[in-house]
Structure 1
Amino acid sequence: MSNLAQKRILLGITGGIAAYKSIELIRLLTKAGADVQVVLTEGAKAFVTEMTLQAISGRPVRSTLLDPNAEAGMGHIELAKWADLIVIAPASADFMARYTQGMANDLLSTLCIATESPVLIAPAMNQAMWRHPATQANAKLLTERGVLSIGPADGAQACGDIGPGRMSEPADIFNLITKLFQTTEVEQDLIGQHWVITAGPTMEAIDPVRYISNHSSGKMGYALASAALKRGAAVTLISGPTQCPPPKGANVISVKSADDMLAVCEQNMTTQADVFIGAAAVADFKIKTATDQKMKKQPDSDEMQLTLVKNPDIIATLSKNKRAKIMVGFAAETQNVIEYAQGKLERKGLDIIVANDVSRTDIGFNQDENQVTVITHNETWAPDKAAKSELANQLVEFIYTHSL
């Protein structure tokens, strides 16, 4: 049986000549056993007809936000909850711009804002529109918010131009959808376990307007939380300031300073956790005495001296008190990466440490990909460079197998 059998897929079609390709995508999805609900924007109606789409999908097409008949049955909020996955193919430049701004002025944009399910977009537009800085910024922001995307492809366009902007082929979109459901249907082998994960940077106050921090985005820690949640773990995510969307189902606790993070970790580990992962980039130092008022420049001096003191070592403190059965740390280094990581493994009493070379600009801080070396007391493993979400799945599997 196909892994798409009885999966509920909401297919949004926006205005563009590529809308005709969506007919083939619907055929592939329904043939695989998926339930497909089509939602049209007003612009899409100029390119495909509701009658054709209804005949292929087997469901009445939706296009109006406040349709009294539709709202009496499956209202737009219920429709947002119904979908296992929302696919926008094609996704026009206009739709991407409105989605980025959080607008909800038609049915499709409202569904995307109201859903908690994954959203996949397949951009399609003129090559100049795709290359425009505004569109590129919108695409980047949507990706950072967790929206999945495929394409666009490069080639000849209906307008005669040649370049990037063609909607990906229906077969390619279908294959990606199939893979998405394969990756989400994982064994629930962590049910009954409590994982505590720290993520993001800490923010150490100098005065009410200034602070010491670092470039950590929190993406790796949040990806680890999501990976553990998918396998059934109860996850407490203790996070410094980030722009990452909270993983659905996690108990997310926001903190600022290293002192705050340690206190919250101890409060949430009064009983022994199964796994602790210290993925946060905790500042090594803080100001000895932060001021209550903004520090002013002295007109007769070009210098200002700040006295720094060590922050508490969160991982070492928790490890010393054996607050988790498996203690996992991260080592963000710029030189002698493996040597320094091995030293931290022993010195902090960890079971596993993940070494990360943050001197590289293509991985690590603020990047969507990462490459690490995982070190235990008797082995070393270096997985290939991968998206942080995929790497998180591999790390959770490694941690789980080493906890048995």
Structure 2
Amino acid sequence: MRVLLSTYGTRGDVEPLVALAVRLGVLGVEVRMCAPPDEEFARRLAGLGVELVPIGPPVREVMSGTALPSAADLSRYRNGLVDAQFATLPSAAEGCDVLVAAGLAQVAARSVAEAAGIRYVYASYAAVHLPSPHHAPPPRPGWAESEVRDNLARWELDARNVNAQFGEILNRHRASLGLPWVDNVRDHVFTDRPWLAADPALGPWRQIQGLDVVQTGAWSLPDARPLPADLSAFLDAGAPPVYVGFGSMHASKDMARNAIEAIRAQGLRALVSRGWADLGPTDDRDDCFAVGEVNHQRLFGRVAAVVHHGGAGTTLTAARAGAPQVVVALQMSDNPYWAGRVADLGIGAAHDDTTPTSESLGVAVKTALSPETRARARSMATEVRSDGAEVAAGLLLDGMG
């Protein structure tokens, strides 16, 4: 069996498919993966023996600014990705039995699978990305948002926005492949049986009529890497610090400074992840330390709390480690959703303001470090599963989904 995996985005989009690729490889399945050509992704896949088919521009270039591109630039960028997918995916899919597409940017994947006569599976990493009367669609940068409160009305607008962006370009490519016209691009991409690669305890799906969601659990890999010696020395030198990291998001230096001040005000040490924004300590005091890319699975078990942007992977890893969380939802994609889930589950605090002050962050950190929150976070750790990639790989081999 040969499987093509396809995604486009930051590490949070790529890493779950890496986990699925590794699990499929253990089962004897040949896997290749379409992903952005960023060096870190190429190095990651090469180290695991997974063939990379580069697609689109490097994501870090798009995320390198201090603000998101304009709506017009985002529109051109999104259409360019569709053209790149139709140029790359057909040859990548040759000889494959199934194409698994994950994330929001996979507009061409189903059409390519249809033209090749192979199975197609769409996977989402968060329930909030799938249409439901139980929640509103997440914000999409550069697109109009409905002012009405009814969730279904907002999903209807979301479908119109997707059609306005992708309808012409998708159907032009489909016509060149001899495929019929698509009226609803979003639902065409999702299918009526999408997979949800999210933990059922952290982000459950409430079944609705017309959408038969298969929730596999989150796709992740165990990480046995040791922590760097200097980081271990910092951890050993005092009480557990509070971790602050915003991954690939547009986090400002002010946000890092305010977080450090809030943590110090609680009498705690701070551990800052540099991330793509290259954050770091604001002074040379020894109660703050900066790290690059490290093993979060091992690290989060040694921190007092995790302050982050609300990425699905970070939320999962912190929950699995039993670490209380403060989610500063940056109003991107599923970030507000995960912030809400953390608050609703009682395993941390949601900071809804995208420009937090040291005072507002201090309140959130204090909530996360309360005895009740810490106890709930430890309890939650026992409920989070680790077999999502195994479940998904089994479904693929069994021809289900």
Using the size of structure 1 for normalisation, the TM-score is 0.30
Higher RCO (C-alpha under 8 Å, 6+ residues apart)? 2
Structure with the largest fraction of helix: 2
- With normalisation by structure 2, the TM-score equals 0.31
- Greater share of strand residues, 1 or 2? 1
